Chain A
Amino acid sequence: MLRSLRSGGALALLAAAAWPALATPPAFAAPPARALPQAAPAVTPAGAPSFPRLLVYGGDLTIVEQIAPVVLTAGRNTVRLDFVRGNADVASLEVVPLDRPGEVKVAALFRRDDLGNATFVELDAAKPGPERLRLRYAARGLAAGVAYAATFDAAKGTLDLVQELEISNGSGESFAQADVRAVFGVVRTVPSTAVLHGRAPDPDPNAPAGLPTPPLAQDLAEHTVVPFGSPLALPDGVTVRRRALERRDLPTTLEWRWDAGAWGGRVWRVAKVANGPGSALGGVTGVTLQPGSLFLVEREAGATERFVRGGSFGPLVPGQELELDLGPTPELSVERTVIDLQRGDLVFGDYNKALVSYSETESVKLVLDNRAAVPRTLTVTERVSTASFELTASSAPANRKDQVTLEWKVELPAATKVELTYTVKKTNLHP
């Protein structure tokens, strides 16, 4: 990546000096360091940050932003930038004069095949003097991620939530100090070789119109920026993790659910935490939580912590309730039995007397066992194998959530078994 512009010695910035304007690109007969005059001593104007800023996106993309102070002479100046280490994409380099935008203009960025990643910035300055250049380029090898650790306290009925931001530097370049921000969301990018006149491969005659960009999950996605905090040292081959958010004792609402297709047919608990304005999690406006990995444990009575599950977390937007599956509980169980099935309403074709359709009447018994010493409300979800059915009998009021899903909310007294039975008639079935 770009070597330090202030470090002296083997400077990446090899020259910032007058270079006679050439009608044609300069022919480098000798190594550039000797061919070009030595740069004047660089001066960092007041207020310039002394460390680069890294914007780390998903998909192995990092935008590096650096300030390079140079001293220019009047007329054409050439600044040589060497990206000697790291995975910088020099084709994405953007140079912007900061101090005198009206007087200093970037005339061209010049590169040569035999000089690798070296880039010559040709600047036209109306007057001599110091100038800060903002360099921005893309790099690969840095990755950022979010990890959540959630601790559910069963006795208190609260949740502790910790969000940690992690950045990993595998770019090949070390940053002594860097201001790091992670960007979450899908950002559209187009490779620099998307259109390369004269060298582009023959277009596919069947390809759709437009630029041959890679497929994208989302073109216009909102994204959020999470700062890493105070500038950090980020050497190559190092992963750093910092705590970005910490909420203790969040009030939690518990629900008990059962679905034959989830958690191996066992009853599981769901913890819900409000994230609206004024809530303990959301604060004044509600909090946005980026998607990340989850580490969920339950704090037990004996001060031990039981690992519940890993998995993924979020995203969560302000106003959206945080919902976490806490895993199965042995306190409640459901025993499901299909107690009867009968066929009827056979319809035969008028012409060939073949069987055209029929109906099935299915009766199901669910024994809901609450072994806890306190009452519970259990949400039971059942799925019917066809959308053309009607609920002909049910021992408790049912809610048809969608075409094939029925839902009951059943009150279970303490240490009691409750029987839930229902019958559905599936019509217009075909053999």
Chain B
Amino acid sequence: MSPLLRRSHPLLACVAAALFGALAPAALAQAPVRPDGDGFVEVVVPTAPQSVTLRLTSDQPANVATTRTVALTQGRNRLRFDWSRERLDEGSLRFEVAPANATASVVQREKIHRRGGMVYFDVEAASDGPATLTTRYLLGGIGWRVAYTGMLDAAGATLALVGTVEVTNRSGQDLADARIVFDGGELPALSLAQGERREVELFRVEGVPLQRRYRFDPARYGATPAIEIEVENRVGTPLSRPFLPAGRIRLLAPQADGQPGLIGEDVLPATPLNAAAKLYVGHARDLVVERTVVAQGNENERRDRWNKVVAYDQRTKLAFKLRNGGNTPATLLLVERPGAPFEVVGASHAANKSALDTVEVEVVLPPGGTVDASLEWLRRNLW
């Protein structure tokens, strides 16, 4: 900077200095193409790439692709990259060079250990000219998570669903207008400096149909009926997303005063297109189940020479008293797990053996009504 300018216009000098400081790294990065004693020219590759794409997956580091334009000279060029700040997996580095109007090949890549994070690529160029460099590598420290918020309508029949994604950058690299691609979504241009995190809305859909069920499963949900909500991600419905990544979902419903109230949270499992997700959001207040073991005893005992029981059958009978305190009919699924092996020998309602150790009984409860149900099973050949 000229001393005259510094003396006469101190403010202008400061601005000029700041501007120079900002532009200098990019300018200097490209400029020095200096002959080297080893017979190649060294090109210091600009630190900031022209475009960055990050492909995020749920359980792997981010796969990064960056492009830069550099000026190559005819012959051997040594391109120097400085990745000393980034949490970069050097074993994953891949490199492509595409000159604008000539050919070039990557001869070799070199790592000089005493120079830390510097990586060198030797490129043989057929002629002088600009070239596009694409580097791909795995980058640690990029975190992302998806969260959903669902608002039930007054009737509890449909859901307004909002999906958001939060990206955290602890990679050591500042991201400027980076394209972020992940399973089920994309952010076209995200700027995120090291140490920053940003939450962005992904989608917002209204009128997603849902199914509400009640399950009485003492082994899984305890002594009161649980609420199970099923949401379908299906073609032809409002929610027709290619993929819904797993994430926390918060369900809200309008309260008596019209204001939304939290009815529960769960983790929405990873749900591809044409699949359904089941959510457990809490327990029903208006449904009451009284479960009684009416009888349980052993029979058909087989004994050894010393009169010790070596095999037996076991019979169990349960009785249920079910009450619906609400003003709408409810379908309650009673789930019992007798253990394997077992067979159902009697039931007041249709019983379905859903797994080797599980039986389910579906009971329809009228509004304000009470229903008695019973279930009996036999486990043969126990010891």
Asked whether A and B interact, the reply is yes
Q: Which residues of A contact B (CB under 8 A)?
A: 147, 149, 162, 232-233, 235, 237-243, 293, 295, 297, 300, 302, 304-307, 309-310, 330-331, 333, 337-344, 346, 348-349, 351-355, 358, 360, 362, 369, 371, 415, 431
Contact of A237 among B57, B92, B112 (CB under 8 A): B112
Is there a chain A Cβ closer than 8 Å to B114's Cβ? yes
Question: Interface on B for A, CB 8 Å cutoff?
Answer: 38, 53, 55, 57, 60-61, 63, 65, 91-92, 94, 106-114, 136, 138, 181, 186, 243, 270, 272-275, 302-306, 310-311, 340-341, 343, 353-357, 380-381, 383
Are B355 and A339 in touch, CB under 8 angstroms?
A: yes
Name 10 extra pairs, CB < 8 A, besides A307-B61, A330-B272, A360-B341. Answer: A237-B114, A295-B92, A300-B55, A300-B181, A307-B92, A337-B355, A338-B340, A348-B302, A353-B305, A354-B310
How far does the alpha carbon of A306 sit from the alpha carbon of B106 in the complex, in Å? Answer: 23
Q: Tell me which residues across on chain A come within 8 A of B110, comparing CB atoms.
A: 238-241
CB pair A351–B94 under 8 Å, yes or no, is no
Complex CA–CA separation, A431 to B381 (angstroms): 11
- Contacts A307-B60, A348-B310 given: A337-B354 contact, CB under 8 Å? yes
B341 CB contact (under 8 Å) in A310, A342, A348: A342
Tell me if A355 and B310 are in contact (CB < 8 A): yes
CA distance A369 to B340 in the complex (A): 27
**B residues within 8 A CB of A358?**
381
Measured between alpha carbons, how far is A369 from B273 in the docked complex, in Å? 12
Given A341-B341, A342-B380 in contact, is the A307-B355 Cβ separation under 8 Å?
no
A340–B358 CA distance with the chains assembled, in angstroms: 10
The one of B114, B272, B383 in contact with A371, judged by C-beta atoms closer than 8 angstroms, is B272
B305 CB to nearest chain A CB (Å): 4
List chain A residues, Cβ under 8 A from B53.
304
User: How far does the alpha carbon of A344 sit from the alpha carbon of B313 in the complex, in Å?
Assistant: 12
Are A362 and B356 neighbours in the complex by a CB distance under 8 Å?
yes
Closest 10 CB pairs of A and B: A330-B272, A343-B381, A307-B63, A338-B356, A239-B111, A353-B304, A341-B356, A352-B305, A341-B340, A242-B108
Q: Which residues from B are CB-within-8-Å of A241?
A: 108-111
CB < 8 Å: which of A149, A235, A341, A349 contacts B94?
A149
User: Would A338 and B274 be within 8 Å (CB), given that A293-B91, A306-B63, A346-B381 are in contact?
Assistant: no
Instruction: Name the residue of chain B whose CB is nearest to the CB of A229.
Output: B108
Residues of A within 8 A of B114 (CB): 237
B353 and A240 contacting across the interface, CB-CB below 8 Å = no
A297 to B354, CA, bound (A): 40
Do most interface residues of chain A lie in helix, strand or loop, or is the interface mixed? Answer: strand
Residue in contact with B113 in the complex, picked from A233, A237, A242, A337, CB distance below 8 Å: A237
User: How many A-B contacts at CB < 8 Å in the complex?
Assistant: 121
Q: Considering the chains assembled together, what is the distance between the CA atoms of A384 and B112 in angstroms?
A: 54
C-alpha spacing A305/B94, complex, angstroms: 12
Q: Within the assembled complex, what's the spacing in Å between the Cα atoms of A358 and B382?
A: 11
Question: Shortest Cβ distance from B167 into chain A, in angstroms?
Answer: 16
* Min CB gap B356→A, angstroms: 4
Q: What is the CB-to-nearest-CB distance from A351 to chain B, in angstroms, rounded to a whole number?
A: 7
CA gap between A248 and B383 in the complex, in Å: 63
B354-A371 in contact (CB<8A):
no
Q: How far is the CA of A162 from the CA of B109 in the complex (A)?
A: 14
**Which residues of B have CB within 8 Å of A369?**
275
Closest-CB distance, A295 to chain B (whole angstroms): 5
Residues from chain A with a CB closer than 8 A to the CB of B273 are: 371
Contacts of B111 in A (CB 8 A): 238-241
Contacts of A344 in B (CB 8 A): 381
Residues of B within 8 A of A297 (CB): 63, 136
Q: In the complex, what residues of B have CB within 8 A of residue A310's CB? A: 92
A-B contact pairs, 6 of them (CB 8 A): A238-B113, A306-B63, A307-B92, A337-B355, A353-B303, A354-B304
**Do B181 and A304 touch across chains, with their CB atoms under 8 A apart?**
yes
Question: B274's contact among A232, A235, A306, A415, by CB below 8 Å, is which?
Answer: A415
By the criterion CB–CB under 8 Å, are B311 and A346 in contact?
yes
C-alpha gap A2/B383 in the complex (Å): 77
Contact across chains for A232 and B108 when beta carbons are under 8 A apart: yes
| Contact with B311, one of A300, A355, A415 (Cβ below 8 angstroms) | A355
Q: Point out which of B60, B138, B303, B310 has the most chain A C-beta atoms below 10 A from its C-beta.
A: B310
Q: Which residues in A have their C-beta under 8 angstroms from that of B107?
A: 242
Q: A321 to B223, alpha carbons, bound, how many Å? A: 57
User: Provided the pairs A293-B91, A295-B92, A352-B304 are in contact, do residues A304 and B106 lie with their beta carbons within 8 angstroms?
Assistant: no
A333 touches B275 (CB 8 A): yes
Question: Which residues does chain B contribute within 8 Å of A352, judged by CB atoms?
Answer: 304-306
Task: A341 to B382: give the CA distance in the assembly, Å.
Answer: 13
Q: A239 CA to B270 CA in the complex, in Å?
A: 42
Option from B181, B302, B341 in Cβ contact (under 8 Å) with A302: B181
Q: Give Cα A307–Cα B89 distance, bound, in whole angstroms.
A: 13
Instruction: Assess the B310–A304 pair: CB atoms within 8 A.
Output: no
CA separation between A302 and B106, bound complex, in Å?
26
CA A235 to CA B111, docked complex, whole Å: 11
Shortest Cβ gap from A425 to chain B (Å): 13
Q: How far is the CA of A6 from the CA of B343 in the complex (A)?
A: 91
- Please give, as numbers and ranges, the residues of chain A lying within 8 Å of B272 by CB-CB distance: 330-331, 333, 371
Residues of A within 8 A of B305 (CB): 351-354
> Contacts A237-B113, A241-B108, A330-B272 given: A339-B60 contact, CB under 8 Å?
no
Cβ of B57: which chain A residues have Cβ within 8 Å of it?
Answer: 306-307
A239 to B110, CA, bound (A): 6
Q: How far is the CB of B371 from chain A (nearest CB, A)?
A: 27
Contact A343 B138 (CB under 8 A): no
Name the distance in Å between A239's Cβ and chain B's nearest Cβ: 4
Q: A340 and B353 in contact (CB under 8 A), knowing A233-B38, A237-B114, A293-B91?
A: yes
Give chain A residues whose Cβ lies under 8 Å from the Cβ of B356: 338-341, 362
Nearest-neighbour CB distance to chain B for A14, whole angstroms, equals 30
Residue from A232, A237, A343 having most chain B Cβ neighbours under 10 A: A343
Q: How far is the CA of A352 from the CA of B113 in the complex (A)?
A: 76
Chain A minimum-CB-distance residue to B379: A343
Is B383 a contact partner of A355 (Cβ separation < 8 A)?
yes
Chain A positions within 8 Å of B112 at CB level: 235, 237-238
CB distance from A265 to the nearest CB of B (A): 13
**Contact A239 B113, CB 8 Å, known A307-B63, A339-B356, A352-B304:** yes
Contacts of A309 in B (CB 8 A): 60
